[in-house]
Structure 1
Amino acid sequence: MSSRTSAEAPSSPWPVLSVSGRPVARYGFSPTSDPRMSPRPFLHPVTTLAGTPVTEYRPADHRHHVGVSVAVPDVEGHNFWGGRTFVRGQGPTELDNHGIQRHEGFVTCGPEGFVEELVWRAGERDLLRERRTVSVAALSPDAWALDLTFRLINPSPAAVTFGSPATNGRPGAAYGGFFWRAPKARSAPEVFTSTSTGEAAAHGRCAEWLALAGEDWTLVFAGGTAETLRDPWFVRAAEYPGVGSSLAASRRLALAPGASLVRRVVTVVADGRLRPDEARSLVTGAVHG
């Protein structure tokens, strides 16, 4: 059995996460038939407690966006994001350099969350091992929290480096790490953070938390560790709605042999459009509660 086939067949079913008995998120695996996908596990659909979808899967504008996932466009030159690779001096380029996040198994798995073991593989080389922890919890009658932590470990005898289009010559494109693709609507969602308002003010900057507010939903993202809080936010609203972290914002990030990095992002999923004070209260409770 090939690594791509086995990656799609966990020993137990892909989990459906529930809050107060209501399904709010389904975990799955992106297709391997498209060589440009950089196959990986993802959460979709994710909904509010009222059932409003807050993720989008393989939209026409970016076919490699798959709900909520962990994705990095450059790990030792291998693309674990999907789509084209930004090459210095050439721009976005179609390359045969896509890796796969291979599912190895669930350590624990239930309706309130799971712990998963993965391998980030490029060709026959295992570049990284990962332990991913995901849990859900109720916050209020109209809001719940998704808590996602990933630990990446370098199993090789040499350093592994992470890059982004920004480190490869494209300013403002430092995406890579946690990424949430939200649904596109008639109007762009509102963006505000703990200290600013608007996409331009939030993009590429650090903030304790960041909110994306659509017509009838609000997502509030917060870093749950000191290291995560030092990663600038990658924000899109006008072009398409999406929020992510930036592991390699201005320079390549090196992971020494045997070393690991950990990032935790907690996301409040709420019905309706939250005010900044409401967003702050909910996300503070979600991170520290």
Structure 2
Amino acid sequence: MPEGDTVWQTAARLDDALAGRELTRCDLRVPKLATVDLSGGVVESVRPRGKHLLMRFGNGWTLHSHLRMEGSWRIFESGESWRGGPAHQIRAILGTAARTAVGYRLPVLELLRTADEQRAVGHLGPDLLDPDWDTAAAAEAVRRLSADPARPIGEALLDQRDLAGIGNVYKSELCFLSGVTPWTPVAEVTDLARLVDRAHRLLMANRDRPMRITTGETRTGRTLWVYGRRRGQCLRCGTPVRSADQGAAGEERVTYWCPRCQQGPSPRRS
């Protein structure tokens, strides 16, 4: 599933292509929106909220989408061939005189009043990429993470109700940088405020980058401390990185950690 920085970049591309422009084409290929025609309307803005995308129109409506694991939005210039998948995977086509935004494999696509956006995103915790992020938002994120002290920190970080924007990559990297395994109970993480602050700074630093970096290095194979390094070595100590699934049945996510740099419980087999 795309992480908050990737969704932020998608929103920025959509906003650049569509905001302030009149739609000349609208084709929403989901049953409940099959008769909806937004052509003639003007896109006011496209904004991210955690991993959600909110396309707001000047007439008071919002087109809400979520990419989940497979979805994507692609932008094409007028006359350019579309390259994002076969036609039967297209769920939305929004075109202006100059560009066309095509949504592929979108699992969530709904139209709602802009005034009712909270119905779609009101459950989310503080957004790590919110321009208004402040100490109050950070404190609220810490409060929400602390609400279930026995929960493994890795699972708590992925819960968008606690704080919005962290995905599996950042989960593994943040646990590494905090020196705890992802299976460590929240109550045993000594400085949640520092972890939240680090999460905010990492996502902010990466939101405009073409590649995600948590180590400070741009060389291939050295941009992440542990994520994706199951057959490689920890970049800090050289110990072989371990991996295992984490999460409830049906929602498992492969998780990476260094058994030397990170303290706390971990699966016996990985």
Q: TM-score, normalised by structure 1?
A: 0.25
Higher helix share: 2
Higher strand share: 1
Larger radius of gyration: 2
